[in-house]
Structure 1
């Protein structure tokens, strides 16, 4: 069993007028077997949290800590964080021209595991993961995210999750841009990952619709770079009916 622990995390980004603090003291603990949903309005710091954990150079950690099983995550390089068991599914996956999905996946797996997978077995695993996401084997010969629809990009992210098999999945608005069919397929993929029992999921979303298919153990409401409220699945239902207005108003007056 593993634990991802975030303590008093402060993060800033550089702007034309100087550093701007985005995260203002975030505390969050995710354990194996748990699914945590982070919800909140635009600009509340949800994606900043995801990219800070992953090690994006745009985001400067100015205080606090992130540990994985007691080890300092923030001192590790991006690739070291991946090898330690962290995975980030991006809100806007980027195109990688000239690199096929097949080569990308095999290279990523080799980098994470420290050795290249057996080719024959690997091809079978890739085709199986694609099939589970409703994608045919020919998809592996396309260039990474080049000409992909929004749904294909998000399905490909979950294929990566399945094959790389991290300890913790950080999913940054994986539901954005998906129609209802693609949303169900992606949700099923996340649920398969979680069902392994020793996996943790940090699911970032604006909306509650994905939570109809992925049931969170904990829900955290982000406002103005802080956790404004925490609860169980019932908190997501409250947000569905009431929205974020009361939290935003309270944050503005504090």
Structure 2
């Protein structure tokens, strides 16, 4: 197996209830790579993100997911997180009574399995917030409560920065945001690239290419990746539409 191979999805078939959503999906991601998944509504993009993270509502009917060479099909969400998987939600939840700082420190401790001193964590949190240009007072606010759409998504990127995953799955992080907010989000992602961390970005907003340079673009239609290419594939989508990309 390629020593740099981080994620390998082999003939993955997934259903929810009586609906077959993923129908034999194949994908490989190496360490340090950025992959873009594009496709029409209902193609299975968000399903892919959820099943990679182990969402219990999604049933794997066939195929395998390998992470760093290990079959993770049956691992729980928290076990996958500990191995270095992270999912940024399309619609982040609001949690009253839990501050951003408390949530992030607890999450970091759970993922690493280590108790983290408050002073050491506060120093790291300030560094990451400065890097992402997030006002320091946000750490004392309840998680996502009263946050704008852009602030919620930026808070997801802060979580990613603190947890430092090996593979970050970003599920339509740009959804519902204006151009300025999208630019801020993806500039934040770019600051976190280190040549080792990999990204799987799910979107149908091809303007993302103004801010993020992927190694590969994949077109997902009707539960399968039907074409893979470089960044110019997104321009082809805009010109031809998804209906021209079918198995």
Q: Do the two structures share a fold, i.e. TM-score over 0.5?
A: yes
Matches within 5 A, 1:90-129: 90-129=89-128
- Aligned-partner Cα distance in 2 for 1:202–1:172: 8
Question: Which of 205, 208, 214 is the matching residue for 1:207?
Answer: 205
Q: CA RMSD in A?
A: 1.2
CA contact (8 A) 1:127 1:136 kept: no
Question: SS at the partner of 1:127?
Answer: helix
Aligned to 1:237: 235
Question: SS at the partner of 1:198?
Answer: coil
1:214 is displaced (CA, Å) by 0.6
- Aligned-partner Cα distance in 1 for 2:121–2:240: 47
Aligned to 1:186: 185
Deviating beyond 3 angstroms after TM superposition, the runs of 4 or more aligned structure 1 residues are: none
- Aligned-partner Cα distance in 1 for 2:9–2:189: 22
Aligned to 1:79: 78
List runs of 5+ in structure 1 lacking aligned partners: none
CA contact (8 A) 1:134 1:185 kept: no
CA contact (8 A) 2:5 2:28 kept: no
- TM, length-normalised to structure 2: 0.95
Q: Deviations over 1:193-234 (max 9, x none)?
A: 22x111111000011111211111111101110111111111
CA contact (8 A) 1:2 1:167 kept: no
1:141 is displaced (CA, Å) by 1.0
Q: State yes or no: 1:146 paired with 2:142.
A: no
- Aligned-partner Cα distance in 2 for 1:215–1:149: 26
Aligned to 2:57: 58
Question: SS at the partner of 1:94?
Answer: coil
Aligned to 2:34: 35
CA contact (8 A) 2:89 2:171 kept: yes
Question: Larger deviation: 108-117 or 39-48?
Answer: 108-117
List runs of 5+ in structure 2 lacking aligned partners: none
Paired residues in the alignment total: 244
